[in-house]
Amino acid sequence: MNTLIILSALGIITLFAEIFRFRKALFPLILLGLAGAFVATSFEYCDHPQSIFNMMIFDKYAVVFSCSLILICFLWFMMARNYFLQETSVTDHFALILFALAGAVVMVSYSNLVMLFLGIEILSVSVYVLAASDKASVLSNEAGFKYFLMGSFASGFLLFGITLIYGATGSFDLGTIEQFVASNPSSGLVTVGVLLMLTGLAFKSSLAPFHFWAPDVYDGAPTTVTAFMATVVKTAAFGAFFRLFSTSFAGVSGQWTTVLWWFAVLTMFAGNLSALRQFSVKRMLAYSSIAHAGYIAIAIVSVSTNGTSAQAILYYTLTYSIATITAFTVLYIVERNTGRNDFGAFEGMAKNNPFLALVTTVAMLSLAGIPPTAGFFGKYYIFLTALNSHNASLVVIAVVAALIGVYYYFRVIISMYFKPEKSDIPASIGSLHQIVLFITTLLTLLLGIFPDWVLRWI
Amino acid sequence: MITLLLILIPLFSSLLILSVPARFAKIFAFAASFISFAVTLAVFISFPVSADYQYLIDYNWIPSLGIHFKVGIDGISILMVLLTTFLTPLIILSARNEDNHTPVFYALILFMEMALTGVFVSLDGFLFYIFWELALIPIYFICLLWGGVNRVNITIKFFIYTLTGSLFMLVALIILYLHTPNHTFDINDLYHAGRSLDSRMQGILFLFFILAFGIKMPIFPLHTWQPDTYTTAPAQGSMLLSGIMLKMGIYGAIRWLLPMLPEAVHEYSVYVMWFAIAGVVYASVIAITRSDMKRLIAYSSIAHVGLIAAGIFAFNIQGLQGGIVQMLSHGVNVCGLFFVADIIQNRTKTREIPLLGGIRSKAPMLATAFLIIMLGAVALPLTDGFVGEFLLINGVFHFSPYMAALGGLTIILGAVYMFRAYQRTALGETSQATDHFTDLTLTEKAVLIPLVIMVLFIGIFPQVFLNISEPAVVKLLSGY
């Protein structure tokens, strides 16, 4: 609960920065606040958490996911600081991000469907605005509007699903629903409700065939906002997704796992195959983000009682987000200096700035799932979870999809080591970016070698 | 501790070398790899004749998943590690100063040495997989950054090809892991798990494993990445790939496949062997028609490895022992041949055999070294190739005389393409390209002389190596 209070207060204080003119001190204040939120959250880690008015519960799952979200957000702020300094409305944007983060925390700690919906909306509304925050750009406006329209549809599905579930069970409470579903697995209302909620959440987490909004939105939104959507939003969406389906709807898992099985397969192939043919690295990363959603969906399909699915999702979303932050930071630097975001813009990076090339290589290896990076262990753990639940065919499909993925991630690496006649990649980058790249790369390697540092907490 | 040392020396030196001034990088790398070799040699000389793992280290790496950092050396591993640490300093030495290799180049080679050593000493399935994949990254970059024509497409094909096999092996390892009673990756537990599976499941896992190992070796229909990659890689890359890296596939099959899935091995070995034998004939015939020296060596490598694969899948003492000793000699021979090709290319700017000739009159030392290594490759008695191929054909013969007869063609066909290559390059009149050919430089001598000595040493004293590996092989065959 303290997490939520701190984050909301931080957001409100941020809004006041414009009025009381402490914009200069704002950035350190936010970092400090996030660090405080992280610490406060970790203090709530305990075996027997108290439910908060039967609305939210900060159990281990919620605490660990919140910490993961705050950490990613912290890194994101370090990455995006310069972008917002150029804008006049820096405080609005920072506040929106903080509110979105508060929404994300609600999404991973709800114990009531009303809170789920609230969390999703708090997050989504902030991100709709952020996606359109580059007011001068038509693409950014389009992205915001498209995201808003599609997101509203998804919310509609979700609400309809919640209504039907309420109609069947007479409660919004996850525990009550779980009991009802377990004792009445053949209830028609529940089946339809579950499928509608599945659709809504699949929209939010960009699972195929509901992913069509994602490439345009990711591509059109400012690069830093895209990074936020690909990391924090995705982690929160899957945190919420799994929390609901592994508890309340576990009783009828036979009804939705088949559907989600196909979603996962479609997502992996739609994401990976489309990413193959992109010219823009940003758009490639958008499709790659869709593909990764497919891998995470495998862990939900393989939902099990012994908690490995939750571990797999936590580890995968965290390490994927860290590598993605690296990739987007580099992309952001490249975009600012060359004005382009196609593969060609990366040429000459290895020569001009070996550090940048090295961290990008590690990030790409991690996204492609090559040891010893964290991305490999994430995939390994997903495969392990799936095989444990006898989903061998899904693993074989995922292996094939991962192989396709290697090709486009390596295209980035190959471009960096290609020597053009002239390259605008700067020899030195800002110290804040250096720090964030250093941290993310170190984490990618260390978490790959010592995955227990993350896994043991759930 | 020594096992850990063998992994850590190359690892740390590969990191340290990045801070060394560029002009000292080669010396530093050579010194580091030479220390590794000295340590290995000391272990080798004092190695007890025993079937057990020596110098065991078992550290609980990821406790919640039963993953251990477990390494140890037995009679088979030590020979593989010896091959790795013997060849690496020579490979580093063979890099030409005029190519202006950056410290990164040497760092990658040392990193590769670390990964290869790790593969040969791992006794935990997960650890084995990690090292297995780690070896792929440096060689990919060596080939990508310093390779020849069309390297971008060829290297990515190589990477995805080998990764395909690896990922299927990972799936197989996870399935075995889930069948162990207390969920560990320990090699002995995996053996038990594998043996307790029904024959259908064993067959599926066999297929997954053979994909990984067969692509790495490579065995006949899975070889299509190999000639291009060997040809386009820089000389050091070709030497690493053919001299050491392909042994990962053979070693993997010996350690992780044959004892793990006995029923499937019994049932499906014969198919693998037929493919391997077919590869022997197919690659030899193609080698005869090649005029590019590197490509010729690449195809000859497929032929030799095909026979090794057939020998080990025969799964008898002659076949396995032959396979192990032949891995050593093939590593030495193929490195020597690739280096000779590199020297010739460096002098004449061509590798086309028809454009060469008369090198012997201009460079007698090179020609002599070339001759001895080539005799080793065609398995003349008293050279290293003879011992291995004799035992291998013997082993295959016990399994099926027809296969042995076909596999034996490798010696005859090998003689055809090797002698032809030697004759057209070293003998005859000098051509325009070889008119100003100079003999070996000091560095080149330092690389070739140890290789030539090894060709003869393995040929004359094979027992030194066979005695060490025998207890481990016997234990492997008896199934522990």
Q: What CA–CA distance (Å, rounded) separates B333 from B87?
A: 11
Facing residues of B352 across strands?
B292
Q: What CA–CA distance (Å, rounded) separates B162 from B145?
A: 19
Instruction: Decide if B133 and A376 are in contact by the 8 Å CB cutoff.
Output: yes
Give which of B155, B156, B159, B174 to mutate to test A binding, by max A Cβ within 10 Å: B174
Q: SS3 for B428?
A: coil
DSSP letters for B261-313? -HHHHHHHHHHHHHHHHHHHHHHHHHHHH--BHHHHHHHHHHHHHHHHHHHHH
Q: Taking the domains of chain A in order of start, what are their residue ranges?
A: 2-455
In single-letter form, the type of residue at position B152 comes to: V
Q: What CA–CA distance (Å, rounded) separates B132 from A170?
A: 55
Say whether the peptide bond before residue A215 is cis (omega within 30 degrees of 0).
Answer: no
Report yes or no: A380 at the B interface, CB cutoff 8 Å.
Answer: yes
Answer positive or negative: Cα dihedral of A191, A196, A199, A204: negative
Alpha-carbon distances, residue B449 vs A58, A323, B433 (angstroms): 70, 47, 25
The predicted structure's pLDDT at residue A392: 87
Q: What CA–CA distance (Å, rounded) separates A69 from B286?
A: 58
Chain B contacts of A450, Cβ < 8 Å? 62
DSSP letters for A235-290? HHHHHHHHHHHHHTTGGGHHHHHHHHHHHHHHHHHHHHHHHHT-SBHHHHHHHHHH
Q: What CA–CA distance (Å, rounded) separates B334 from B458?
A: 15
- Residue A47 DSSP code: S
Give the closest of A383, A410, A451 to B62, CB-based.
A451
Give the closest of A371, A384, A450 to B130, CB-based.
A371
Alpha-carbon distances, residue B40 vs A202, B9, B326, B374, B471 (angstroms): 56, 11, 20, 27, 19
Burial class (CB in 10 A: 0-12, 13-18, 19+), B406: middle
Report yes or no: A25 at the B interface, CB cutoff 8 Å.
Answer: no
Instruction: Decide if A399 and B167 are in contact by the 8 Å CB cutoff.
Output: yes
Chain A contacts of B130, Cβ < 8 Å? 371-372
Please list, in sequence order, all residues whose beta carbon lies within 8 angstroms of the beta carbon of residue B63, skipping any fewer than 6 positions away.
Answer: A452
Nearest-by-CA chain A residue for B65: A452
Give the closest of B65, B144, B159 to A406, CB-based.
B159
The predicted structure's pLDDT at residue A91: 82
Q: Which long-range contacts (CB under 8 A, 24 or more apart) does A362-365 make?
A: A362/A323, A362/A326, A362/A441, A362/A444, A362/A445, A363/A323, A363/A324, A363/A326, A363/A327, A363/A330, A363/A440, A363/A441, A363/A444, A364/A327, A364/A409, A364/A410, A364/A412, A364/A413, A365/A409, A365/B137
Report yes or no: A365 at the B interface, CB cutoff 8 Å.
Answer: yes
Instruction: Decide if A406 and B145 are in contact by the 8 Å CB cutoff.
Output: no
Report yes or no: B133 at the A interface, CB cutoff 8 Å.
Answer: yes
CB B81 within 8 A of CB B37: no
DSSP letters for A337-366? HHS--BGGGGTTHHHH-HHHHHHHHHHHHH
Q: What are phi and psi of A52, to 5 degrees?
A: -100, 100
Answer positive or negative: Cα dihedral of A83, A88, A90, A93: negative
CB A458 within 8 A of CB A312: no
Report yes or no: B201 at the A interface, CB cutoff 8 Å.
Answer: no
Facing residues of B58 across strands?
B70
User: What predicted TM-score, i.e. pTM, was given to this entire model?
Assistant: 0.93
Burial class (CB in 10 A: 0-12, 13-18, 19+), B48: exposed
Instruction: Decide if A410 and B178 are in contact by the 8 Å CB cutoff.
Output: no
Q: Which of residues 392-411 of A touch B (CB under 8 A)?
A: 392, 395-396, 399, 402-403, 406-407, 410
Number of residues written out for chain A: 458
Instruction: Decide if A371 and B129 are in contact by the 8 Å CB cutoff.
Output: yes
- Residue A49 DSSP code: P
Give which of B111, B143, B170 to mutate to test A binding, by max A Cβ within 10 Å: B170
- Residue A7 DSSP code: H
Chain B contacts of A372, Cβ < 8 Å? 130, 134
Q: What CA–CA distance (Å, rounded) separates B110 from A249?
A: 52
Q: What CA–CA distance (Å, rounded) separates B3 from A179?
A: 55
Say whether the peptide bond before residue A372 is cis (omega within 30 degrees of 0).
Answer: yes
Low-confidence residues of chain B: pLDDT under 70:
480
Q: What CA–CA distance (Å, rounded) separates B56 from B53?
A: 6
Q: Which of residues 159-178 of B touch A (CB under 8 A)?
A: 159-160, 163-164, 167-168, 170-171, 174-175, 177-178
Nearest-by-CA chain B residue for A457: B64
CB A197 within 8 A of CB A65: no
The predicted structure's pLDDT at residue A316: 96
CB A407 within 8 A of CB A336: no
A132 to chain B nearest CA, in Å?
Answer: 38
Chain A contacts of B63, Cβ < 8 Å? 452
Q: What CA–CA distance (Å, rounded) separates A358 from A352?
A: 12
Q: What CA–CA distance (Å, rounded) separates A286 from A214?
A: 7
CB A359 within 8 A of CB A322: no
Neighbouring C-alpha atoms within 13 Å toward the C-beta of A368: 28
B62 to chain A nearest CA, in Å?
Answer: 6
Q: What CA–CA distance (Å, rounded) separates B56 from B190?
A: 18
Give the closest of B133, B163, B175 to A387, CB-based.
B175
A40 to chain B nearest CA, in Å?
Answer: 27
DSSP letters for A22-37? -HHHHHHHHHHHHHHH
- Residue B17 DSSP code: G
* H helices present in B95-198, as ranges: 103-121, 125-134, 136-146, 151-179, 187-196
Report yes or no: B15 at the A interface, CB cutoff 8 Å.
Answer: no
Give the closest of A383, A407, A410 to B174, CB-based.
A383
Say whether the peptide bond before residue B218 is cis (omega within 30 degrees of 0).
Answer: yes
DSSP letters for A178-201? HHHHHH-TT-HHHHHHHHHHHHHH
Low-confidence residues of chain A: pLDDT under 70:
85-88, 304-306
Chain B contacts of A417, Cβ < 8 Å? 144-145
Chain A contacts of B167, Cβ < 8 Å? 399, 402-403
Q: Which of residues 116-155 of A touch B (CB under 8 A)?
A: none
Give which of A410, A418, A419, A458 to mutate to test B binding, by max B Cβ within 10 Å: A410
| Interval B377-422: pLDDT, tens | 988 888 888 999 999 999 999 998 998 998 888 888 888 999 988 8
Chain B contacts of A388, Cβ < 8 Å? 178
Report yes or no: B127 at the A interface, CB cutoff 8 Å.
Answer: no
Answer positive or negative: Cα dihedral of B268, B274, B280, B282: negative
Give which of B62, B68, B178 to mutate to test A binding, by max A Cβ within 10 Å: B62
Q: Which of residues 49-108 of B touch A (CB under 8 A)?
A: 62-65
B161 to chain A nearest CA, in Å?
Answer: 9
CB A330 within 8 A of CB A362: no
Instruction: Decide if A403 and B160 are in contact by the 8 Å CB cutoff.
Output: yes
Chain B contacts of A407, Cβ < 8 Å? 156, 160
Chain A contacts of B134, Cβ < 8 Å? 371-372
Q: What CA–CA distance (Å, rounded) separates B306 from B63?
A: 40
| Interval A206-233: pLDDT, tens | 998 999 999 999 999 999 999 999 999 9
ipTM over 0.85: yes
Helix (H) or strand (E) holding A40: helix A23-43
Chain A and chain B share a number of CB contacts under 8 A equal to 62
